[in-house]
Amino acid sequence: MPRLAAIVLVFALTHVTGWARAASEPVIAVLYIDNHSGDSAYDVLEKGLADMLVTDLSQQGLTVVERARLQALIDEQKLQKSAFFDPKTAVKVGQGLGATHVVSGALMAMKPEIRLDLRMIEVATGEVVVTAKVDGPSEALFELEQELVGRFVAAFERRFAAPGMPETKVRDVQALLEYSRGLDLADRGELEEAKKTIEKTIRLSPSFGLARRLKDDLQKRIEASRDRRDALITQHMKTLAMRAKAAIGERDAGRRFERLAWRHLELQLLASALAPLMSDTPLGVAALGQEEAHLEAMLRWAERAREYVVELDAILASKPGAFWKAKLPDDAEALARQLRIDTSAQVDPIEARLTLAEFLLMGKLRGPADLSLMIAPPLANVHATWDKRAWQALAEADALASRQSLEYRGVRVLEQWGEALWFRGRIDDAVAKWQTILDRYPTSRQYDQIERKIKHVLGLEMDHTARELARWAQALTTCEDMGFRVGIDTVVYRRVRMTGLQALSDTVSEVEKACHEHPAAKLTWEYIYSWVARYFGKHGRCAEFETWMERAIAAGASKSDVRGWRDNWTKCPKPATP
């Protein structure tokens, strides 16, 4: 144990004996320790030091007011914490906490050595009954705090019993500073940041039990806070959805602008309802067991988006000139903003059609609170009627942009049109759309970008995507194992976007047909079967994961590898042994 400097403890013995015997059950409040060191960097230690004292005094069998109650009183009465060193203030706070005694004091110095000046005050009389001063090297912080605890315990004529593994055993001042910052963040309601700070404390001082206990408490509070927040968000969204339905159902011509705003809100609420039906992966295929609900939700959004376009066209046909009125009532606007919902109704018929087409053809969808979805497969690929409507929407948007000479929107429409064709393997048609951009808008700032895109798709220049697609195509001819490994990510991503998880089996069939029993592909099968299994596993398809892993094992994969893949890539349980 490091050398401790002189420890001075002065007892007013007549008082100590009197109140220690008279009070059958003293209640102690430990106030925040004032920072009188002259360095504001140590202000936050007021909470950490107090928390250590509260914990250690409690472990000695004394009744101690929880620090949270002190913080609540400070918040409620807006007390100035820097005044706790004043005995009169300390007594008032003690009375407010129902304490018989209060411990207050100050951190007098940190360098070159720590110096603490604490005292215990009897609330009933206002008299200082214990004065304790300790000083010593910074690395002896825990030992200094334990000396203080021992003296305060002795004041109640109790024997100090050092715990075998004290929760307050902190490594050094830096660790206690981080812990104190974590407490302060938690008091201010910044729970996530508080948890990160406490995790840093634990890294600095792994045996600091108080920090580990606080981390667990913060996790519980974070989870409870999320539950409350989720419940509140759900209730608010239900309220807005009911109001939107009622407003959209009204046919009052005088409220057509407001009705457009409600339709815009409804589309975002429907987008947020889609998210829980999808797998928790970048490509949102329907979650297992949610396929029917997922399809119904997509159909509902598409129908409402089409109705939005129809209503917008009707308003535009009447030449209104007052789109600033396309807003929600003030109370609904305020509620929507709390949910981070964009309340600015889309009044551009080109953008409205492009939004619909991007959803139908590419599965792109934006919702509230920066929600961005990529749905696979897109609705147009599973529903012929919506496929026809999607291409029609693009054609209408292109015609509007061309007629009005709107270069930016015209480029956007044609670029997305080409993208949708390219993902469907219609390369010539895609290049034709992009070439239209170059022909129609030769001075566009995006001219060079579009020209490079064309060259990449045609294989005249190589970017990352073009290179991997080319390696895959070559591997189908040579059956070179590395070509499949290099290209599979890009190939499967593009295919899953268009056809969903069916693309996995189709891709394997393509490789098997091209390279069955080909000697160059002897290392391919274990890799590709396990790759497909992991992809299924990430999307929660455990039955498919096990089936494809059995094929991987038959092709040479080890069972230990399969266990690792199951644990690290999936949430699939270990199969029951027969």
Helix 427-440 / helix 447-458 crossing angle, nearest 10 deg: 160
To which residue do tokens 């913080």 refer? 71
Quick one: 382 and 433 in the same domain?
no
Quick one: 415 and 399 in the same domain?
no
- Verdict on whether the full-model pTM lies above 0.75: no
Quick one: 262 and 147 in the same domain?
no
Quick one: 89 and 132 in the same domain?
yes
What is the DSSP pairing of strand 364-366 with strand 63-64?
unpaired
Phi, then psi, of 17 in degrees rounded to 5: -60, -40
How far CA 15 is from CA of 12, 117, 130, 159, 160, in Å, comes to 6, 20, 9, 19, 20
Two tokens, residue 449: 């970008």
Q: What is the DSSP string of 240-255?
A: HHHHHHHHHH---GGG
How far apart are the C-alpha atoms of 87 and 92, rounded to whole Å?
9
Look at residue 240 and tell me if it is in a domain: no
pLDDT at 533: 95
What is the average pLDDT value for the chain, to the nearest integer?
88
Provide mean pLDDT across the span 556-569: 90
Two tokens, residue 164: 């075998």
Helix (H) or strand (E) holding 447: helix 447-458
pLDDT at residue 559 is higher than 50: yes
Would you say 103 and 118 are in contact if contact means Cβ atoms under 8 Å apart?
yes
Would you say 167 and 57 are in contact if contact means Cβ atoms under 8 Å apart?
no
How far apart are the C-alpha atoms of 379 and 360, rounded to whole Å?
5
Tens-digit pLDDT profile for residues 452-510: 999 999 989 999 999 999 999 999 999 999 999 999 999 999 999 999 999 999 999 99
Quick one: 163 and 14 in the same domain?
yes
Quick one: 350 and 426 in the same domain?
no
Burial of 552 (0-12, 13-18, 19+ CB in 10 A): buried
pLDDT at residue 19 is higher than 60: no
How far apart are the C-alpha atoms of 191 and 177, rounded to whole Å?
17
Count each helix (H run) and each strand (E run) in the chain, helices first: 22, 9
Quick one: 301 and 392 in the same domain?
yes
Two tokens, residue 387: 């496929």
Look at residue 225 and tell me if it is in a domain: no
Look at residue 547 and tell me if it is in a domain: yes
Q: Give the structural domain span for 26.
A: 8-169
C-alpha Rg value of the chain to the nearest Å = 34
Quick one: 292 and 433 in the same domain?
no
Q: What is the DSSP string of 175-196?
A: HHHHHHHHHHHHHTT-HHHHHH
Tens-digit pLDDT profile for residues 270-329: 999 999 999 888 788 999 999 999 999 999 999 999 999 999 999 888 876 666 677 899
Would you say 455 and 461 are in contact if contact means Cβ atoms under 8 Å apart?
yes
Look at residue 102 and tell me if it is in a domain: yes
Tens-digit pLDDT profile for residues 152-190: 888 887 777 766 678 898 988 899 999 999 999 999 999
The DSSP bridge partners found for residue 109 are 115
Quick one: 399 and 331 in the same domain?
yes
Q: Which band of pLDDT confidence, cut at 50, 70 and 90, is reported for residue 2?
A: very low
How far CA 32 is from CA of 29, 79, 118, 153, 352, in Å, comes to 10, 12, 11, 19, 59
Quick one: 318 and 426 in the same domain?
no
State the DSSP code for 519: G
How far apart are the C-alpha atoms of 518 and 305, rounded to whole Å?
51
